[in-house]
Structure 1
Amino acid sequence: MRLVVQEFLTLDGVSQGPGAPDEDRSDGFEQGGWFVPYLDEEFEEVAATWLGTADALLFGRRTYENFARDWPKMTEHPFAPVMNGLPKYVASQSLDAGSWNPTTVLSGDVPAQVAALKQQPGRDLQIHGSARLSQSLLAAGLVDELRLVIAPVVLGHGRGLFPDGGAPAGLRLVSHRRTAPGLSVHTFESTDLPQPGVYGGGV
């Protein structure tokens, strides 16, 4: 399987709490729900296409607990059969079992276990949200593709996908589009680590 990270971001890189005011108030974050005003049918179609390539889902504990609380109740949502039915993996050192079946808990050396999952046949192993987990797996060189959806809003506060001191990563843009409400949808493939250059060829 390919490891694919899907993240909603603000223009200043915040990934925390995109879907609702109460989604994630950790560290005093009070601006949740910032992504919702930019949703439309066009992006729903993009998201459905992406979800259609998933053979399993991977979460950090916080995102998993939010999804496990909400998705089983969202029976009328068109994504619900897929989200609720796919195999799910949660990276956690504190959970013993998951409540959102079928779920497998990954503890201990999570990157090694994710690397083993990638060796299994299938299409996408998708990470939805879970910024800290995404950061760690990007640093471990395990991410094959990044799907970043950037909303035209600046919050000035909140947990970001790419924190200061994070590991470098090389990426290649393979597609991009803009929706009518202003979402910028970018797909990147992982490449070699970035190399410095000199403007003008050093002349």
Structure 2
Amino acid sequence: MTRPTRLSLTTFVTLDGVLQAPGAPDEDTTGGFPHGGWSVPYGDEEFGGYMAEVFAGAGAFLLGRRTYDIFAAYWPAFTDPAHPIAAPLNSLPKYVASTTLTDPGWAGTTVIGRDDLAADVRALKEGDTDGELQVHGSGRLARSLLAADLVDTLRLLVFPVVLGTGLRLFPEGSRPTAFRHTGARTTPGGIAINTYAWDGRPRYGSYA
């Protein structure tokens, strides 16, 4: 019997939960967002090493359209087969969730989600993938996957900054979900990295 593929979500957030445009000022200015590039000052060698570890566990990638376009414009230029991030991104299967993309130019890309994104992702998870089905960034896609209970592992990298505005990973009205904490580390630059496993619905009690 084929073992289901685990779907992991790795995302950068601020202390107030913002995930919008961590990598560059013009990455995503939706809503007039003025804080793009907020994660960059906190990057250090340990942070880079951790991300290399994450990518080493990939068997395939699932990306939202905006993140896919950013990655596709950058990573194919890195042809070193030993590069810890470019090599898996360029060689492994990639799935992009989009209702408008018709001709992806990045080799190894399949478009999904035109009719039923959740069903397409469930089918991917039931496939025989040697490694995780990894989602990186992709805020809108991430929220959809969380709402459908499709995320098995959540890697939350919390950066020591508050922005006050911007799109959040868990906006008001998010589906109540419990997670089990499975790992933690902190980089010298102050990034708190926590890993969680999906654990069903919240349980409630009283201290009285």
TM-score, normalised to structure 2's length?
0.92
Give 1:119's aligned amino acid: E
Residue 74 of structure 1: how far off its partner (Å): 4.2
In 1, distance between residues paired with 2:138 and 2:144? 10
Gaps of at least 5 residues in structure 1 are: none
Residue 43 of structure 1: how far off its partner (Å): 1.2
User: Which residues of 2 match residues 1-203 of structure 1 at below 5 A?
Assistant: 1-75=5-79, 78-106=84-112, 107-121=114-128, 122-200=130-208
TM-score, normalised to structure 1's length?
0.94
- 1:72 is paired with a residue whose SS is helix
In 2, distance between residues paired with 1:74 and 1:17? 22
CA contact (8 A) 1:97 1:104 kept: no
CA contact (8 A) 2:10 2:137 kept: yes
CA contact (8 A) 2:151 2:198 kept: yes
In 2, distance between residues paired with 1:8 and 1:119? 27
Residue 68 of structure 1: how far off its partner (Å): 1.1
CA contact (8 A) 2:55 2:84 kept: no
RMSD across aligned positions (CA)? 1.3
- 2:18 is paired with a residue whose SS is coil
- 2:24 is paired with a residue whose SS is coil
Residue 125 of structure 1: how far off its partner (Å): 0.3
In 1, distance between residues paired with 2:84 and 2:206? 50
Residue 96 of structure 1: how far off its partner (Å): 1.5
In 1, distance between residues paired with 2:171 and 2:53? 29
- 1:136 is paired with a residue whose SS is helix
Give 1:66's aligned amino acid: I
Gaps of at least 5 residues in structure 2 are: none
CA contact (8 A) 1:97 1:103 kept: no
Residue 174 of structure 1: how far off its partner (Å): 0.4
Give 1:123's aligned amino acid: G
Identity within the alignment, %: 50
Q: Moved runs in structure 1, 4+ residues, more than 6 A?
A: none
- 1:46 is paired with a residue whose SS is helix
In 1, distance between residues paired with 2:196 and 2:154? 5
Residue 73 of structure 1: how far off its partner (Å): 2.9
